[in-house]
């Protein structure tokens, strides 16, 4: 948990950055007064929660106390303040991977940046699976990145234990509570007989010059906005550059080519048969990650440029507080924090 005080007076609430849990939860950006560090605080109105919700929250917080890994978003402190449950976690100043793709890298991220992010997620998943749990909500909005380039997984609310009556179950078909948004991200075997499009539709793939039909490469592409670079089959339009930089005049959006290692990695991850789908532990050793030469804290800030983290936005001078808060809210405006699922 760290050394964060379980006392609401130790935190200066700055602005609301999200809501959730059927509007019973408010998420604040705050400053931890003893150190000046910025944190995110979940404030949950316990008096309005049903017994089922309370049990649901207790299960999540129990799991958070069990997990201690650098690639999983930590909870720094948990305590009751009047009628509210306060959960303190670090503020991830780059936001989520979804924020970055939607607002800054609409043509797609650099492949090396993707490698760093995916390696961090695989390490988190390997640890979670080793602990006997399944995450069930692995998506871009649950991939958070700190000011120093640390990649952390969030969304523990959808997690479930594989342990049944003292034995590790091989199959668990269960849906997360209060998490309708995560349904498209669940595995095909969990979605059996529910979302037939995912089960019977085209297999997702990386979109580049090796997967787009030659006749489409000569067509003027449409811009589809935020795109991770993974398509629902080779006939889908809207390819984007992988370098994260704005397209120059005359540059063709279909000109990128991902490495064969990246294509092979994605194909393994998207195996329909769970028996053929590699574990997170096996994927960590994939050749795709051999291109990583530096620590994420050194590499990701460079790879994300010109994007800068939301830091230093509130002045310590009282007379500048209003302008500092306005700057903060402007900086947060591009972040889809409602989907972080704190």
> Tens digits of per-residue pLDDT, 257-283?
899 999 999 999 988 888 899 999 999
CA 176, CA 206: separation in Å to the nearest integer?
28
Residue 207: which pLDDT band, with cuts at 50, 70 and 90?
confident
pLDDT digits (tens, 9 = 90+) for 241-263: 444 333 333 334 477 889 999 99
Q: How far apart are CA 196 and CA 191, in angstroms?
A: 8
Whether the CB-CB separation of 16 and 328 falls below 8 Å is answered with no
Give 81's contacts (C-beta < 8 A, 6+ positions apart). Answer: 8, 43
The answer to whether the bond into 105 is cis (omega within 30° of 0) is no
Burial of 166 (0-12, 13-18, 19+ CB in 10 A): exposed
Distance in angstroms (rounded) separating the CA atoms of residues 268 and 205: 11
**165 vs 131, residue with greater confidence:** 131
CB-count exposure of residue 91 (10 Å: 0-12, 13-18, 19+): buried
Q: Which residue has the tokens 């297999």?
A: 203
- Whether the per-residue pLDDT at 234 is higher than 50: the answer is no
Whole-number Cα distances in Å, 326 to 42, 99, 313, 315: 22, 20, 9, 11
pLDDT at 254: 73
Taking only the tens place, the pLDDT of each residue in 43-91 is 999 999 988 888 878 888 888 889 999 999 999 999 999 999 999 999 9
Q: How far apart are CA 303 and CA 290, in angstroms?
A: 17
Quick one: pLDDT band at residue 324, thresholds 50, 70, 90? low
Residues of the chain with CATH 3.30.200.20: 8-93+313-327
**Class of 97-304 per CATH?**
mainly alpha
Maximum average pLDDT range among 117-126, 195-204, 212-221, 312-321: 117-126
Q: What is the dihedral of CA 87, 89, 95, 96, to 10 degrees?
A: -80
CATH value of 8-93+313-327 in 3.30.200.20, 3.40.309.10, 3.90.380.10, 3.90.1150.10: 3.30.200.20
**What residue spans in the chain does CATH classification 1.10.510.10 cover?**
97-304
User: What's the pLDDT at 323?
Assistant: 55
Per-residue burial over 56-67, b = 16 or more CB atoms within 10 Å of its CB, e = otherwise:
bbebeeebbeeb
Reduced DSSP (H G I as helix, E B as strand, rest coil) percent helix, strand, coil of the chain, to 5: 35, 15, 50
Quick one: pLDDT band at residue 332, thresholds 50, 70, 90?
low
User: On the CB side of 244, how many CA atoms lie within 13 Å of its CA?
Assistant: 20
């Amino acid at each position: 948990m760290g050394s964060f005080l379980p006392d609401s007076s130790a935190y200066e609430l700055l602005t609301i950055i999200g809501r959730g849990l059927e509007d019973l939860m408010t998420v604040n950006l705050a400053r931890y007064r003893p150190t000046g560090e910025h944190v995110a605080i979940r404030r949950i109105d316990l008096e309005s929660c049903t017994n089922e919700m309370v049990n649901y929250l207790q299960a999540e917080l129990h799991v958070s106390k069990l997990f201690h890994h650098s690639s999983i978003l930590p909870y720094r402190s948990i305590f009751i303040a009047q009628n509210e449950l306060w959960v303190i976690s670090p503020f991830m100043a780059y936001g989520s991977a979804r924020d970055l793709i939607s607002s800054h890298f609409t043509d797609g991220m650099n492949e090396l940046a993707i490698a760093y992010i995916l390696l961090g997620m695989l390490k988190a998943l390997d640890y979670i699976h080793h602990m006997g749990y399944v995450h069930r909500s692995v998506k871009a909005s649950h991939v958070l990145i700190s000011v120093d380039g640390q990649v952390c997984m969030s969304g523990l609310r959808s997690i479930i234990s594989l342990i049944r009556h003292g034995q590790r179950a091989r199959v668990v078909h269960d849906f997360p509570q209060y998490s309708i948004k995560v349904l498209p991200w669940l595995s095909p075997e969990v979605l059996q007989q529910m979302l037939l499009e995912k089960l019977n539709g085209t297999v997702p793939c990386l979109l580049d010059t090796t997967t787009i039909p030659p006749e489409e490469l000569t067509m003027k592409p449409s811009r589809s906005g935020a795109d991770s670079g993974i398509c629902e089959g080779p006939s889908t339009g809207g390819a984007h550059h992988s370098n994260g930089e704005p397209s120059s005049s005359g540059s063709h959006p279909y000109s990128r080519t991902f490495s064969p290692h990246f294509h092979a990695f994605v194909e393994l991850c998207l195996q329909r048969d769970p028996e053929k789908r590699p574990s997170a532990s096996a994927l960590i050793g994939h050749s795709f990650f051999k291109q990583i030469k530096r620590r994420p804290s050194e590499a990701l800030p460079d790879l994300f440029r010109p994007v800068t983290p939301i830091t230093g936005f509130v002045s310590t001078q009282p007379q500048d507080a209003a302008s500092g808060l306005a700057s903060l809210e402007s900086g947060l405006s591009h972040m889809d924090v409602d989907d972080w699922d704190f």
